[in-house]
Amino acid sequence: MTDKPCRVVLQPSGLTYSAGPGTDLLSAAAGAGIEVPAACRNGVCEICEARLLAGPALNTRNQQHIPVSGRLMLCRTFALGNLELEMTAVMAAGENQPRKFQAKVVDVRSISHDVYRVELQLPRRRELSFHAGQYLSVNLPDSDPCYFSIASSPSRPTIELHIQASPDWLSAQNVIDALTSGRDVTIELPFGKACLAAAPEEPLVLVAAGTGFAQMKSLVDYLRETSYGQPVRLYWGVRRHEDMYLRALAQQWAHEWPQLTFLPVVGDDEDNDWSGHHDQLVRAVLASGMDWQRVRVMASGSPVMVYTLLDALLEAGLPQSAFFSDVLEYAPRD
């Protein structure tokens, strides 16, 4: 058996992870945050099945080498070298197909002067698969869908949303009014390509404006469940101190998770318009002095903020392929 970590590639998703010596492939995948179908706790076998496309692997049950093109169970396989496996049940980031569900409203509570935390429960939660950082729509009768980032990790039994609502934002206020009525609501998910199906290999820079923090919360909660060990820098920009509705939580992350650095950016200026506030957030990100050729950036906020940040980082040397935001998909530039 090799004494070095082996690289495992899952096809057709293209997801990769490392399997250390003496670690079965299923446990190693879980450590990398890759969702592999398994039901070992229920005594059901033959679910985490894959086909060996290339590389040496050992069946830990009979201590036999597995032939190329042979079937294997990840839970009882060790990598003896770099492997390539076929496992169609594992989806690449953002490739899950959206589906509609009836969700039960578990809780709606105000967490700031204009932001509500919503908790939804699905009767068939095991049927739902999404990736950290994706979003959903709330579909009310006779209304256009309203889209909100999922603020919880995919492993959570319930779904968390952060909804900014006021009389000025009629659609969001209508959603809050409907949810607080206690009736079930139709949701559709998942949406979005700016997400994680596995822990990345490079350091992460997370940039959020306003309730864009919800997407970052999903990403941080997910990464903390994995063996991810790279540095994470979280920037959260708001206009006023009271708009940073979960600042204590972000500070708690930074205290409990050594690789995370939390950098709040507060305009705190009544005369500061949103464009000026976004410039301040972008300047704070650029001031980090990071090697922009070696990081991944994930951004959540308005199109103005996201494209201002993108242009500045590209000029600073960030490859465009290392910048992820759902804005690029739903509000593309000409």
The pLDDT value recorded for residue 277 is: 61
The pLDDT value recorded for residue 271 is: 46
Q: Strand 99-110 and strand 83-86: pairing?
A: unpaired
The pLDDT value recorded for residue 166 is: 78
The pLDDT value recorded for residue 182 is: 74
The pLDDT value recorded for residue 44 is: 62
The pLDDT value recorded for residue 274 is: 44
User: pTM to 2 decimals?
Assistant: 0.92
Residue 12, preceding peptide bond in cis (omega within 30° of 0): yes
256-270 core/surface letters (b: 16 or more CB in 10 A; e: else): eeeebebbebbbeee
The pLDDT value recorded for residue 154 is: 96
The pLDDT value recorded for residue 273 is: 46
What does each C-alpha distance from 30 to 17, 41, 136, 228, 279 come to in angstroms?
10, 15, 24, 11, 39
The mean pLDDT values, 10 residues at a time, for the chain of 334 residues are 86 96 95 88 74 96 95 95 96 94 95 96 87 97 94 96 86 90 90 97 96 98 96 95 96 97 82 58 92 97 95 97 97 88
- Per-residue 3-state assignment (H helix, E strand, C coil) for the chain: CCCCCEEEEEECCCEEEEECCCCCHHHHHHHCCCCCCCCHHHCCCCCCEEEEEECCEEECCCCEECCCCCEEEHHHEEECCCEEEECCCCCCCCCCCCEEEEEEEEEEEECCCCEEEEEEECCCHHHCCCCECCEEEEECCCCCCEEEEECCCCCCCEEEEEEECCCCCHHHHHHHHHHHCCCCEEEEEEECCCCECCCCCCCEEEEEEHHHHHHHHHHHHHHHCCCCCCCEEEEEEECCHHHCCCHHHHHHHHHHCCCEEEEEEECCCCCCCHHHHHHHHHHHHHCCCCCHHHCEEEEECCHHHHHHHHHHHHHHCCCHHHEECCHHHHCCCC
Name the token pair of 52: 């060996």
